[in-house]
Amino acid sequence: MAEYETHDLDVVVIGAGGAGLRAAIEASAQGARTGLVCKSLLGKAHTVMAEGGIAASLGNVYPDDNWKVHFRDTMRGGKFLNNWRMAQIHAQESPERVLELEEWGALFDRTPDGRILQRDFGGHRFARLAHVGDRTGLEMIRTLQHHSVHQGIEVFMECTITRLLITDGHVAGALGYWRESGRFVIFRCKAAILATGGVGKAYKVTTNSWEGTGDGHALALWAGADLIDMEFLQFHPTGMVWPPSVRGLLVTESVRGDGGALRNSEGRRFMFDYIPELYRAETADTEEEADRWYTDRTSARRTPDLLPRDEVARAINTEVKAGRGSPHGGVFLDIASRRDPDYIKRRLPSMYHQFKELADVDITAEPMEIGPTCHYFMGGVRVEADTAASTVPGLYAAGETAGGMHGANRLGGNSLSDLLVFGRRAGLAAAQHALGRPRAAEIDAAQVEAATTHALAPFGREEGENPYAIQQDLQDCMQRLVGIIRREDELKEAQQELAALKERAKRVKVEGHRQYNPGWHLALDLDALLTLSECLTMGALQRTESRGGHTRDDYPKADDELGKVNMVIRRREDELSIEAEPLSQMPDDLKALLEDPH
């Protein structure tokens, strides 16, 4: 084997968002020699962009809140397809994880008696999101980043992992390249944690950055691990739609949590026309009641503007299709006429700034134009709830890369808490696993050679495809054919287009040399992006029903039988396969919690 820069570690954490940072802190605290690898600089992961808050039943605003209600809300939001044990652990442990952030220096907004203030979000029965204005993710990532500095973690920034190295079925290491020099590097390890976030870059209109190419999902799949629920994709209902430069950029749900209302071109608050049966009992049916709910939880029911995201995104889609949209193909989100300017600027400073600077819109004076945008992948690496272990020995996954926790649809705020709860658990379990192994497995030189040869191939081609063009065509295909509303014929068409794109990707060519070359980086990211797009389409075809973040025009209803299974995707001998496998049985005491309290 050629000589490569090699680092010996017990645990390598791939990804430095909230999940990866929390995992690394825990692994290191357990005494494992821990490395943290990320594609960007430290502190720039998606987590930094999160706005609204962290869901945890602290009960600071509504003392009636507790983990049981949070568990119930999460399961209902996920249309009962969640891994119930993950939902339970998440609801039980998130309050302690939030308090721990505070102990590490985070400064959340306060209640009048000095405790952590909590705000309303869709699908949460009580005001539950610990927050810092509308920049909670920044507070979270910075707190973890500062805390991690003193924990003896080795950090490898701007380093992209392209393959997991597997020996005798166990994780032996990870192969990556330094973005700066283009040189390869090997992390030899006893356990690896995937925390690479989501796959939003498969779509044209998305809240995600260039990093969201599904690398962790793909690394797991290629290493033999199972993926579940890949068909469930969350379109956030409120993304910016104008100007084109900012199309897709997130408008936080806090706008509605803090009083904003959705209206169509006729000025109608259309969400009252889209209240689903499951939520009817707890949703207001008049504007008067909905408006009263912001201050009075005892006699008023919650506004339908804050139904779970899948419901709101579909409703907006329907309104626009029916010709009741805004000038640029969205609907209106109005807080200007409902709250005074000072309140808006204090509660939503970065939204105010974002619209003012990028769209010339003053949100304290006029409504915003918004529409659905690809936001979050519920599906991911299948993990054991208690340990975050994947189906490959020595491989763990946490955060958006892991599947199961959110079922068919994630509630807002439940991701940041998920990152902390399962990041910690992944770090703990991976460290224990690593410390129990006398030495790391031998690296298989053939795997390294194959992967490096593949990675360098685009430089050798005289003629070839532009990686940017392939990515654009891929995004266009997914946006058109595997969007919010899906149909069999379109999904099959997508499969054909993806197959053609895969062929084109084999001929991709890059210019220049290996030093900090974004064209080359993108060419390598295409592998994961294409693989994940295939998985998503496969799952969407297989699930012949509508549920949460998966809506089939040709199967508009939920199917009880399909509500009892996960779609599991695996790769064997280069072929992807998909199978329906039953969910694990929920114990009766938890089942009882799902009943409507009214």
Ligand X SMILES: Cc1cc2nc3c(=O)[nH]c(=O)nc-3n(C[C@H](O)[C@H](O)[C@H](O)COP(=O)(O)OP(=O)(O)OC[C@H]3O[C@@H](n4cnc5c(N)ncnc54)[C@H](O)[C@@H]3O)c2cc1C
Taking CB under 8 A as the rule, does residue 456 contact other proteins? no
Beta-ladder partners of 550: 547
Closest to ligand X by CB, 42 vs 443, is 42
Contact criterion met (CB below 8 Å) for 154 and 167 = no
Instruction: Please identify which of the residues 188, 309, 410, 514 carries the catalytic annotation.
Output: 309
Contacts of 165 (CB under 8 A, 6+ apart): 171, 172, 173, 174, 175, 186, 443, 444, 447, 448
- By C-alpha distance, which of 444, 467, 589 is closest to 524? 467
Strands (E), 471-564: 485-486, 551-552
DSSP β-bridge partners for residue 551: 485
For residue 195, the partner it binds in ligand X, other proteins, none, with Cβ less than 5 to 8 A by kind, is ligand X
Binder among 4, 62, 210, 294 for other proteins (CB under 8 A): 210
Judged by CB under 6 A, the residue of 73, 120, 211, 226 near ligand X is 211
85 is catalytic: no
Residue 570: what are its φ and ψ, rounded to 5°? -140, 165
SS3 content of the chain, % helix, strand, coil (to 5): 40, 20, 40
Residue 9 engages ligand X in binding (rule: CB under 6 A): no
Binding pattern to ligand X, positions 419-458, x when CB under 6 A? x---------------------------------------
Q: Which is nearer to ligand X, 373 or 495 (CB)?
A: 373
287 touching other proteins, by CB under 8 A? no
Task: Confirm or reject binding of residue 46 to ligand X (CB under 6 A).
Answer: yes
Choose from ligand X, other proteins, none: what does 353 bind? Cβ within 5-8 Å by kind: other proteins
Of residues 598, 573, 558, the one with CA closest to residue 232: 558
Closest CA to 276 of 128, 81, 123: 123
Select the span of 224-232, 357-365, 441-449, 481-489 touching other proteins (CB under 8 A). 357-365
Q: Applying CB under 6 A, what is the total number of residues that bind ligand X?
A: 41
Binding status of residue 45 toward ligand X by CB under 6 A: yes
Whole-number minimum distance, CB 162 to ligand X, in Å? 7
d(CA 391, CA 224): 8
- State the Cα–Cα distance between residues 422 and 427, nearest whole angstrom: 8
113, 277, 575, 589: which one contacts other proteins (CB under 8 A)?
A: 113
User: How near is the Cβ of 330 to ligand X at its closest, in Å?
Assistant: 17
SS (HEC) of 121-146: CCCCCCCCEECCCCCHHHHHHHHHHH
Residues 343 and 340: their CA atoms lie apart, in Å, by: 6
Q: Report the DSSP beta bridge partners of residue 159.
A: 178
Interface with other proteins in residues 87-106 (CB under 8 A): 99, 102-105
**78 binds ligand X, rule: CB under 6 A:** no
Instruction: From 44-52, 293-301, 385-393, 428-436, give the range in contact with other proteins by CB under 8 A.
Output: 44-52
How many CB atoms lie under 10 A from the CB of residue 382?
24
How many residues form the binding site for other proteins (CB under 8 A)? 67
Q: 126-155 mask for ligand X (x: CB under 6 A)?
A: ----------xx------------------
Three-state SS letters, 331-345: EEEECCCCCCHHHHH
Beta strands across the sheet bearing 5-8: 5-8, 184-188, 170-178, 159-167
Q: Which is nearer to other proteins, 137 or 404 (CB)?
A: 137
Interacting residue ranges for ligand X, rule: CB under 6 A: 14-20, 37-40, 45-47, 49-53, 136-137, 160-161, 195-197, 207-208, 211, 215, 250, 376, 399-401, 412-416, 419
Interacting residue ranges for other proteins, rule: CB under 8 A: 40-46, 48-49, 99, 102-105, 107-110, 112-117, 132-133, 135, 138-139, 142, 146-147, 149-150, 157, 180, 209-211, 242-246, 249-250, 350, 353-354, 357-359, 466-469, 472, 510-513, 515-520
Positions annotated as catalytic residues are 309
